[in-house]
Structure 1
Amino acid sequence: MHEKKSSSKKIIAIVAAVIVVIAVAGGIYYGVQANNERVRTEQAAKKKAAAASSSKKAAAASSSKAAAESSEAAADPLYGKLKQYGLTYPELQYAKTMPITFVGDSVMLGSESFLKEIFPKMVMHADVSRQAYGVPAVLKQMQSAGQLANTVVIGVGTNGTFTADTTKEIMDVLGSKRDVFWINVHVPSQPWESQSNDQIKKATDKYKNLHLIDWYTVAKGHTDWFAADGFHPSTSGQPHYYTLVAKQVLQQVTKK
């Protein structure tokens, strides 16, 4: 009987010891887990604080840069004159270093000095009464002289219509790698206005690197923008002409 009691006490003691070991192990385990969670929480908080600090520094740098650009823009007389027409300061800064070639008729020629202000590195070959069929020869001459930039603006069609063959000759010289822009025409007094514009639209639909500058739609109805002949921009119309050309060109070339 005494031995049975002694055996029972040992069993109880062993069970109690096991329980204590399990409890201690569980406590240690949960303590480690809690500590790990605390460490993770602290690390997450530090990362968040570091990210917030970095974000604040970036915002401060961006704000400082914006302030500097704003100050420079405010001091730029060309931007002050042209911002009302939708040209941005970064666009005008880009234009200062951009080689560009213009080939056109007297409508384009009338805005030469203003376009030169925007694109100081431009080369223009514009002439009075120029027709589209004369452009391929001009382009070939300019190509031989190294005057064809990667961006070319064509402005003909005012003095008469032309065929798809002429368009092909022009694009054959310019190739498929250049960005080419064609300004359509506003000449309401002449029957070929719509014919020229139709040819220009067909050409821009056909050639992927040829872009339409829609002067006709912008100018339509603005009789006060033109001289007595109805198609040469007057002093009030010229800013609308050359800023439209500059904006369309710069939006295209700067998005690449």
Structure 2
Amino acid sequence: MPRLARPALLAFLLAGVLLAVPLAHAAGSRTVLNYGDSLAIGTDLFLDAYLRGWSVQSETDISRHAADVPRALRGLGPSLPRVIVVSAGTNDHPGAVSRFARVVRETLAIAGPTRCVVWSTIMRPPYQGVSYAGYNHVLRTAAHRHAGLRVLDWAAMSQTHPGWFGKDGVHPSMAGYRARAAATARLVQSCGA
């Protein structure tokens, strides 16, 4: 190869690399982690359909607890997606409001200022006579203080559609999961790309 052609080839390759960096960053901005409990599993059935053009990763388990969220997010390190959808707290004792508030604060700190968190309120009958209103209040209050938190008001949606639920009052029908996924997707998209 002639000596004059080498610098031109090197400049061409460097330009290609520099152009590829912003494209990779843009692709990373349309990434979603769907993390949570059995409600996240049901939502996951429909989420991809409502988030065309987004890369959706799921980490779900039937018996997830809110306290599991920070550890899992830390474990992803720099590969943590741009938008984090959380469904957690339904399996926790509703009297542990201050502990739930700490978990929400810790989750938002891990997400940092460049990520968006979408967390759903909890809809379930009271447990041992205690309602989940305290948890839902924590989420709504945190959303007023943190621009990066979007709250999916699943409790309000559910109350207007009691036909979505069977005997347990927690797990909706497929129509309910579809509506939950659509509402989740709208909030994810509101986070920007």
TM tier relative to shorter chain:
0.7 to 0.9
Distance 1:248 1:167 in 2: 18
Higher helix proportion: 1
In the TM superposition, residue 206 of structure 1 has moved relative to its aligned partner by 2.2
Aligned 8 A contact 1:224 1:236 in 2: no
1:123 aligned residue: 57
Instruction: Give 1:141-180 correspondences, 5 Å limit.
Output: 141-143=75-77, 146=79, 148-160=80-92, 161=94, 162-180=99-117
Deviation at 1:112, TM superposition (A): 1.3
Write the distance in 2 (CA, Å) between the matches of 1:123 and 1:202.
28
The reply to whether residue 186 of structure 1 matches residue 118 of structure 2 is: no
CA deviation after TM superposition for structure 1 residue 178, in Å: 0.8
One-letter identity of the residue aligned with 1:173: I
1:250 Cα offset (Å):
1.6
Q: 1:133 offset after TM fit, Å?
A: 1.0
Q: Secondary structure at the match of 1:111?
A: helix
Q: Matched residue of 2:150: which SS?
A: strand
Amino acid at match of 1:199: V
Between the aligned partners of 1:238 and 1:163, the Cα distance in structure 2 is 24
Q: CA RMSD in A?
A: 2.0
Alpha-carbon separation, structure 2, partners of 1:163 and 1:251: 25
Q: For structure 2, which runs of at least 5 residues remain unmatched after alignment?
A: 1-28
Structure whose CA Rg is larger: 1
**Mapped contact 1:233–1:241 kept (Cα < 8 A):** no
- Between the two proteins, what is the percent identity of the paired residues? 26
- Residue-pair matches, total: 156
Asked if residue 210 in structure 1 is aligned to residue 149 in structure 2, the reply is yes
Tell me the CA shift for residue 98 of structure 1.
Answer: 2.8
Q: Does 1:243 align with 2:182?
A: yes
Letter in 1 for 2:82: N
TM-score, normalised with respect to structure 1: 0.56
- TM normalised by structure 2 equals 0.73
Deviation at residue 134 of structure 1 after TM alignment:
1.2
Shift of 1:116: 2.6
Shift of 1:227: 2.8
* 2: CA distance, partners of 1:196 / 1:187: 12
Return the alpha-carbon distance in structure 2 between the equivalents of residues 168 and 242 of structure 1. Answer: 24
Moved more, 160-169 or 203-212: 160-169
| Alpha-carbon distance, 1:194 to partner | 0.6
Q: Residues of 1 paired with 2:84 and 2:175: CA distance?
A: 26
Match of 2:25 in 1: none
Higher strand share: 2
